[in-house]
């Protein structure tokens, strides 16, 4: 769904095209003579990184979609190995631990699920390793805010032995990188 963009239209060369907000706008649904556009329907408002709506009102209302720069580009880590198109973690050679929450949380969605390889850009063994580290970190209760909406977001509210503190040994992850 992410590939096809909001309206389900193919990517065109030009940057701007008409699009709608994710929350259903009644004015735009009923267009005479045409089928309603297939849209990415989100229950909550989703954050579109790359599109902006610009409305100008004279006698005309134009809705324009413009690609926006992501707010991450300045914060990217750049070393001599990161620019050559390799897997980012292999290039950085970090000795990741399950307690490195600030790094591991970058690979998660807001509900605690892992992002796929095509988004993270990691190679196969690194993706598996990060998945296991994230699982360790979640079991240790170190990322309670990145959890599904129905969870209690507090490790102390878990049941039985799960509410107690635990730590993990990263050497138990046997993945050859």
Partner 1 sequence: MSAARRVQQWATFGRMWYLYDAKWQNPFHTANKIKDYLTGSTKPIYHPLNDCGDHVVVINSRDIAMPGIEWEKRVYFHHTGYPGGASWTLAWELHQKDPTLVLRKAVYNQLSKNLLRRGRIARLHIFPDDKIPDSILQNISGQIRQLRPVPKRLDHYSEEEVKNFPKVFDWPREYIIQ
Binding site for partner 1 (CB under 8 A): 1-3, 5, 11, 40, 46-50, 67, 70, 72-73, 75-77, 88-89, 92, 99, 101-103, 105-106, 109-111, 118-122, 140-146, 160-161, 164-169, 172
CB of 24 to partner 1, least distance (A): 16
CB of 97 to partner 1, least distance (A): 9
Q: What angle do CA 5, 121, 133 make, to 5 degrees?
A: 115
63 versus 101: smaller Cβ distance to partner 1: 101
CB of 17 to partner 1, least distance (A): 12
Q: Tell me if residue 81 falls in helix, strand or coil.
A: coil
What would you report as the CA-atom Rg of the chain, rounded to the nearest whole angstrom?
Answer: 21
Question: CA–CA separation, 143 vs 155, rounded Å?
Answer: 9
CB of 26 to partner 1, least distance (A): 23
Q: Region of 53 please: left (phi>0), alpha (psi -120 to 50) or beta.
A: beta
């Amino acid at each position: 769904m992410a590939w096809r963009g909001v309206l389900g239209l193919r990517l065109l060369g030009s940057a701007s095209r008409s699009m709608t907000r994710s929350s259903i706008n009644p004015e735009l649904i009923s267009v005479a003579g045409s089928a309603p556009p297939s849209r990415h329907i989100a229950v909550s408002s989703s954050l579109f990184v790359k599109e902006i709506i610009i409305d100008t009102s004279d006698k005309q209302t134009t809705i324009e979609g413009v690609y926006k720069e992501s707010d991450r580009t300045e914060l990217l880590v750049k070393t001599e190995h990161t620019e050559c198109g390799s897997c980012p973690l292999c290039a950085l050679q970090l000795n990741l631990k399950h307690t490195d929450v600030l790094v591991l949380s970058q690979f998660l969605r807001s509900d605690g699920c892992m992002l796929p390889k095509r988004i993270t850009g990691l190679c196969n063994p690194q993706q598996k390793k990060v998945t296991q580290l994230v699982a360790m970190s979640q079991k240790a209760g170190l990322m309670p805010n990145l959890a599904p909406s129905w969870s209690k977001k507090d490790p102390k509210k878990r049941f039985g032995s799960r509410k107690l503190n635990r730590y993990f040994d990263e050497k138990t992850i046997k993945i050859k990188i």
